[in-house]
Amino acid sequence: MSFHRVLAAAIVFALASGAAELTPEQRKKNADSFEYAWSKIRENMWAPMPEGLDWQAVHDELKPKAASARTMEDARAVMRDMIARLKLTHFNIVAADLYDELGNGPGRRGDGGSPGLDLRLVDGQALVVSVDAGSPAQLAGVRPGWVLVKADGAGIREAIRKLDAALPDSTHKELAMTRAVMAKIGGAPGSKVPVEFLDASNRPVKMDLEIGMPRGEASKIGFMPAQHVWFESRKVENSGYVRFNLFLDPARLSTLFANAVEECSECDGFIIDLRGNPGGIGGMAMGFAGWFVDRQGVRLGAMRMKGQDVKFAIFPRSRTFRGPLAILVDGLTASTSEILAGGLKDIGRARIFGAPTAGAALPSVFEQLPNNDGFQYAIADYISEGGDRLEGKGVTPDQPARWTRKALLAGQDPALDAALAWIRKGKNQ
């Protein structure tokens, strides 16, 4: 999803900058930015402010400081002080000059196209974990287990270290850093980006990697930019397997998901791969869960918004799959994906494999302030059926299984392999 609009996984960033003395015009923009952020928090807070916090008093105390700040970093410090008093996640200020490094702002590469590969950050390296069939990356010979060393003239290890130092230690960190690195190999379809990889033998491979058309079909909701949505399904051994990149395009995806489950009525198990899926339409989780829950009155959790609570009630299908259900997750699994995985885990219907999720379950808005900094604020709270807040915590796998370069080079997938072993074990018992 776009970093500029509603994002079901939210991000936390901070970078010291802006030591120059501010002009009167810049100081006014900082005051306007403070007022805007303070008002948005007040207007959208779904619950009373934390006990003992007088939001109007916070405004009266800090706005003069924001208006008189001598540097941009002083102004940001005041804004972050305001946010810190909430003691809540998903409220953040992003320095304008960090936008490019995060794949945003005027200097960013376009997000319209892709070379057709997926990356994860493993041991300080950008590791290729999958390559789409027929994509420019596959045609160029890129393989899972390769390491991206440079992109567009920039060293990837250096970029990872810079981002790691700039970002607070949170569950959102892996999501933010991976997206920032992925942005370096995005661009307009038909363009090329100079890159360097290390192959399976650690030999450097340099190429001008072509940017292809986005995978999937375009789907648009409201004023958000169109997103390309893809879905894949197959049988692995005698288990059904589905994977998709977003909870969008509900009519098409719901049909494809239904077909995959119905065609697997005699399967030993079923696997939903949500790794890398940042979420989307929350209501789709309820419909998908209904294929695996055969009783009424069961929920995935509840979303608390200002003035209303939205209960994620599961709608059982007339014919459900009752065999073992495995869900694969990682640090890029967020929002609706976390709701589905966490909810089915809480009610004892699914076993979770992989790595802890992003802990970005809240719907939040990411906007640009008058002073050009970014401002993120949550508009709701989510409580899982087990009574836990997923925000800032995420879903913990029942069986950890992380990507490794050794496994990828050997053609293995640790999380998928673990899920299949669990299903086989259950069949043989």
Q: Tell whether the model's pLDDT for residue 317 goes beyond 80.
A: yes
Mean pLDDT within 225-248: 94
Mean pLDDT within 393-403: 95
User: Residues near 179 by Cβ (< 8 Å), separated by ≥ 6?
Assistant: 3, 11, 102, 103
3-state secondary structure of 122: strand
For residues 135 and 141, the answer to whether their CB atoms sit within 8 Å is no
* Strand 269-273 versus strand 239-244 pairing type: parallel
pLDDT for residue 19: 57
Residue whose structure tokens are 């306007």:
32
Q: Tell whether the model's pLDDT for residue 210 goes beyond 90.
A: yes
pLDDT for residue 99: 46
- Residue whose C-alpha is closest to residue 171's, from 377, 333, 303, 388: 333
Is the CA virtual torsion 341, 343, 344, 348 positive or negative?
Answer: positive
The H-assigned helical ranges of 231-370 are: 250-262, 283-289, 336-346
Q: How far apart are CA 400 and CA 244, in angstroms?
A: 21
pLDDT tens digits, residue range 161-188?
A: 988 887 767 777 898 899 999 999 999 9
* Strand 192-198 versus strand 147-151 pairing type: antiparallel
Where is average pLDDT lowest: 98-102, 254-258, 327-331? 98-102
Q: Considering only residues 224 and 198, tell me which one the structure prediction assigns the higher pLDDT.
A: 198
The mean predicted confidence, pLDDT, of the chain is 88
Domains and CATH numbers, the chain: 24-94 (3.30.750), 117-210 (2.30.42.10), 217-362+380-428 (3.90.226.10)
DSSP H or E segment with residue 392: none
Q: How far apart are CA 193 and CA 114, in angstroms?
A: 11
* Strand 351-354 versus strand 399-400 pairing type: parallel
pLDDT band with cut points at 50, 70 and 90 for residue 310: confident
pLDDT tens digits, residue range 85-108?
A: 998 867 888 888 764 444 444 334
Output Rg (C-alpha) for the chain, integer angstroms: 22
Q: Tell whether the model's pLDDT for residue 1 goes beyond 90.
A: no
Phi, psi of 130 (to 5 degrees): -155, 155
For residues 377 and 41, the answer to whether their CB atoms sit within 8 Å is yes
Q: How far apart are CA 162 and CA 156, in angstroms?
A: 10
Q: Ranked by mean pLDDT, which of 213-222, 353-362, 401-410 comes out on top?
A: 401-410
Residue whose structure tokens are 């970005």:
360
Q: Tell whether the model's pLDDT for residue 5 goes beyond 60.
A: no
pLDDT band with cut points at 50, 70 and 90 for residue 11: very low
Residues forming a β-bridge with 352 = 327
pLDDT band with cut points at 50, 70 and 90 for residue 225: low
Q: Which two tokens stand for residue 291?
A: 């294929």
pLDDT for residue 166: 73
3-state secondary structure of 400: strand
Where is average pLDDT lowest: 3-7, 66-70, 405-409, 421-425? 3-7
Mean pLDDT within 401-426: 96
Helix 173-183 to helix 156-166 angle, to the nearest 10 degrees?
A: 150
pLDDT tens digits, residue range 141-168?
A: 999 999 999 999 999 999 999 888 877 6
pLDDT tens digits, residue range 331-382?
A: 999 989 999 999 999 999 999 999 999 988 877 777 889 999 988 888 888 8
Mean pLDDT within 19-40: 93
Q: Tell whether the model's pLDDT for residue 13 goes beyond 60.
A: no
Q: How far apart are CA 177 and CA 208, in angstroms?
A: 23
Residue % of the chain over a pLDDT of 90: 69
- Residue whose C-alpha is closest to residue 36's, from 63, 69, 1: 63
Q: How far apart are CA 171 and CA 393, in angstroms?
A: 7
DSSP string spanning 142-161? Answer: --TT-EEEEETTEEHHHHHH
C-beta neighbour count of 80 within 10 angstroms: 14
pLDDT for residue 106: 39
pLDDT band with cut points at 50, 70 and 90 for residue 65: very high
C-beta neighbour count of 367 within 10 angstroms: 15
Q: How far apart are CA 349 and CA 341, in angstroms?
A: 10
Percentages helix, strand, coil for the chain (3-state, rounded to 5) are 30, 25, 45
DSSP state of 416: H
Mean pLDDT within 223-250: 91
For residues 138 and 132, the answer to whether their CB atoms sit within 8 Å is yes
Mean pLDDT within 217-246: 89
pLDDT for residue 290: 97
Where is average pLDDT lowest: 114-118, 197-201, 300-304? 300-304
